[in-house]
Structure 1
């Protein structure tokens, strides 16, 4: 199945510019295919992430994974982890299904679960991009609760983000 459509732009290029900082991963190589562990049907494991150089004034982080290439007008949110304490600068592989640091919590991904959902594009569809983003937030709490949608989290981030660190992988089924 291929749903013919143009490739969407990098969604973060469409947002107001903000400071950037470093994000690395042992599991995601920027612009390269995801490992099987990050695919829903094969491992469904959140990747290892480490970040440094967050802007001064950072009081918490939000970690997300977004697929802008899903055949929907709103893309597909695979992971939304909110209120990660500012002293946390890495997450181990599988952290989304373990104990979360401090007061951090998940909001439901677009698959309906609180946690990480691995890559799961329609079979035969175009290559999908998975943007893993760490957002530096200027407040200890983003001000949402676990019932918020990923869109509400993103809306709040528009006003509270001090910086963004991005790495993206790809996957095609």
Structure 2
């Protein structure tokens, strides 16, 4: 009986240390379960949006947060590995959001020290939703991650997959908004 108790205790300890703290993520432009508006859609590859990254706000930050990362990822892209639309790392722990169009390369509005990673369109910036013509709605995932490190150091032209790998090594909390869309 004593061994059973210790096994149960060990199981509970492992489960509690693997649990992520919950953040809260909101956006006036993207509502969880609702599609992107035209402003957030890509403006190339047959899509006719404005390619403006959405305004984001987060709260309920877990203790121990040293920085944040943001990703916009399409797991439904027909690549076998999804599609990275936007990746931002090294957002200072004091930040509680990003302004609209923060992913604009020509006039970035990111907090000091934050860095955008090359997306799957081939540039370091925001690349809005752009599912293929006639596709079923893709479930775009906009995620803010609370990290236990103040800085992620990766090569300048790192892939989204490599950035995702480094982000996931340091996650202590996350929040996701999912925006299904087949708009072009």
Distance 2:49 2:109 in 1: 22
Detail structure 1 runs of 4+ shifted over 3 Å in the superposition.
none
Distance 1:70 1:64 in 2: 15
- The structure 2 residue matched to 1:27, chosen from 14, 26, 29, is 29
- The structure 2 residue matched to 1:86, chosen from 81, 87, 93, is 93
- RMSD of Structure 2 on Structure 1 (CA): 1.2
Structure 2 counterpart of 1:9: none
Structure 2 counterpart of 1:130: 140
- The structure 1 residue matched to 2:65, chosen from 58, 64, 67, is 58
Task: Give the TM-score, by structure 2 length.
Answer: 0.82
Distance 1:106 1:69 in 2: 22
Deviations 1:62-92 (A, max 9, x none): 0000000111111000000110101111111
Task: Give the TM-score, by structure 1 length.
Answer: 0.87
Distance 1:69 1:17 in 2: 26
Ranges in structure 2 where 5+ consecutive residues have no aligned partner: 1-17, 43-47
Ranges in structure 1 where 5+ consecutive residues have no aligned partner: 1-15
- For this pair of structures, how many residues does the alignment match? 158
Structure 2 counterpart of 1:113: 123
